[in-house]
């Protein structure tokens, strides 16, 4: 399957048959660093207006992805958590230094870093061409790959005019940003100029349920390689295979786990679907073989609706045979070693049970 994905054009728009965008992103995340970074996305309806309007939406979505992936694409900014004080000046200086030794355009990268830190959109201060190239480079860097592909789910029920707007906008973005765009899902019925590629047996290669034998051993998953966008442009599954770059708690826990030989087989930010009709959910940290899920809760999980949703998820995961361990950001920040000891105790127990032939 790696060879199949590597053989797809990564510099133009193609139609891909045989799988959905999310599963292709999962395959790319499990593949090697020679594969392009994959950003899975469901296009918003392009409408029938000017192509420039649709292009603007695509660039806004890419900017949102770059914001979410910060500081992964700006080495040295990991410990700058606030725009207050010297924060903005510091990330601008780091961006200038980064651009000086790379293909990044310094003024754009500096503004992008400042916007990501402060949460303030750039509001299209640069031309669309500069945004396209700069955002594609930042997102690819954030996902640890040299090239970027946008795997996009085509909305259902598009009119002929909407299909033309979608393809023209995608072609503009692929050409200006130097990326590939793989159109999945609903086949286009009025556009015949695109290359059509097929991916065989995708369901067998990329199960949505975590399987006990999957995943790399001895590491946390290597380079992430892929992330998933929702229809409103926000990251849904974070960075597949790695701690989310904006989560200090996830990064701190991973740093502590990386020192433990027993922590092999862990996988960050995995998508899980209990059954075909269930909505996919994101698992913060997963040991597949031991069927152990670790969830890291920020303050937003204290809201009544979030608390109830968490409990429902936990019950379903337990019914599916998983144990769920929950820790707060505060607990990890206060005593990460105690958290690691508790997880390690459980993992050792599960492995002992597996050696005795007991299935969790």
Q: What is the pLDDT of residue 302?
A: 66
Summarised one tens digit per residue, pLDDT across range 143-195 is: 888 889 998 888 888 899 999 999 999 999 999 999 999 998 888 889 889 98
Count of Cβ atoms closer than 10 Å to residue 193 Cβ? 8
Q: Do residues 179 and 149 lie in contact, with contact meaning Cβ atoms separated by under 8 Å? A: yes
Cα–Cα distances in angstroms (integers) from residue 133 to residues 8, 66, 137, 177, 178, in the given order? 21, 12, 6, 4, 7
Query: In angstroms, rounded to a whole number, what is the distance separating the alpha carbons of residues 234 and 91?
Result: 23
Q: What is the pLDDT of residue 210?
A: 42
DSSP-assigned beta bridge partners for residue 184: 153
Collapse the DSSP code of 289 into the 3-class scheme (helix H, G, I; strand E, B; otherwise coil) and give the result.
coil
State mean pLDDT over 31-55: 81
Q: Is the pLDDT of residue 22 over 80?
A: no
State mean pLDDT over 349-354: 91
Q: Is the pLDDT of residue 330 over 60?
A: yes
Instruction: Provide the percentage of residues in the chain whose pLDDT is more than 70.
Output: 83
Element (H, E) at 55: helix 51-69
Element (H, E) at 292: strand 292-297
Please return the burial class of 57, using the count of CB atoms within 10 Å of its CB with bins 0-12, 13-18 and 19+.
middle
Count of Cβ atoms closer than 10 Å to residue 15 Cβ? 18
Least confidently predicted of 58-67, 103-112, 317-326: 58-67
Task: For strands 13-17 and 195-198, give the pairing.
Answer: parallel
CATH fold of 247-355:
Endonuclease; Chain A (3.40.960)
Q: What is the pLDDT of residue 209?
A: 42
Q: What is the pLDDT of residue 38?
A: 84
Summarised one tens digit per residue, pLDDT across range 208-241 is: 444 333 333 333 344 466 665 554 444 444 566 7
Between these two residues, 21 and 156, which has the higher pLDDT value? 156
Residues in the chain: 360
Q: At what angle do helices 51-69 and 160-177 cross, to 10 degrees?
A: 50
Q: Is the pLDDT of residue 9 over 80?
A: yes
Q: What is the pLDDT of residue 235?
A: 43
* 3 band by pLDDT with thresholds 50, 70 and 90: confident
State mean pLDDT over 57-65: 89
Q: What is the pLDDT of residue 187?
A: 87
Q: Which of 153, 149, 164 is nearest to 187 (CA)?
A: 153
* 320 band by pLDDT with thresholds 50, 70 and 90: very high
Q: What is the mean pLDDT of the chain?
A: 82
Summarised one tens digit per residue, pLDDT across range 274-283 is: 876 777 678 8
On whether the pTM is more than 0.85, the answer is no
The domain segmentation of the chain, as residue ranges, is 8-205, 247-355
Q: Is the pLDDT of residue 91 over 50?
A: yes
Q: What is the pLDDT of residue 318?
A: 92
Query: In angstroms, rounded to a whole number, what is the distance separating the alpha carbons of residues 221 and 329?
Result: 22
């Amino acid at each position: 399957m790696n060879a199949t994905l590597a053989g797809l054009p990564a510099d133009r728009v193609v139609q891909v048959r045989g799988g959905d965008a999310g599963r292709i992103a999962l395959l790319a995340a499990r593949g090697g660093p020679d594969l392009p970074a994959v950003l899975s996305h469901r296009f918003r309806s392009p409408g029938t207006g000017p192509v420039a309007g649709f292009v603007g939406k695509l660039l806004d979505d890419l900017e949102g992805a770059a914001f979410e992936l910060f500081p992964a694409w700006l080495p040295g900014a990991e410990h700058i958590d606030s725009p207050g004080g010297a924060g903005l000046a510091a990330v601008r200086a780091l961006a200038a230094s980064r651009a000086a030794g790379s293909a990044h355009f310094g003024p754009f990268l500096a503004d992008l870093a400042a916007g990501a830190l402060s949460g303030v959109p750039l509001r299209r201060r640069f031309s669309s061409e500069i945004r396209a190239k700069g955002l594609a480079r930042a997102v690819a860097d954030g996902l640890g790959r040299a090239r970027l592909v946008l795997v996009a789910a085509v909305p259902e029920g598009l009119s002929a005019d909407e299909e033309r707007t979608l393809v023209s906008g995608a072609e503009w973005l692929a050409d200006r940003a130097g990326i590939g765009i793989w159109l999945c899902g609903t086949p286009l019925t009025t556009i015949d100029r695109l290359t059509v590629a097929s991916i065989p047996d995708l369901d067998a290669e990329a199960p949505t349920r975590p399987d006990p034998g999957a995943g790399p051993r001895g590491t946390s998953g290597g380079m992430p390689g892929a992330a998933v966008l929702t229809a409103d442009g926000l990251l849904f599954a974070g960075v597949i295979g790695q701690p989310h770059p904006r989560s200090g708690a996830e990064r701190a826990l991973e740093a502590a786990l990386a020192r433990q030989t027993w922590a092999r087989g862990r996988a960050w930010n995995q998508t899980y679907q209990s059954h075909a009709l269930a909505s996919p959910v994101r698992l913060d940290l997963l040991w597949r073989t031991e069927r152990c899920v670790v969830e890291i809760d920020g303050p937003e999980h204290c809201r009544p609706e979030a608390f109830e949703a968490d409990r429902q998820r936990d019950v379903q995961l337990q019914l599916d045979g998983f144990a769920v361990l929950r820790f707060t950001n505060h607990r990890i920040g206060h005593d990460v070693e105690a958290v690691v000891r508790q997880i390690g105790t459980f993992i050792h127990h599960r492995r002992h049970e597996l050696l005795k032939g007991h299935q969790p």
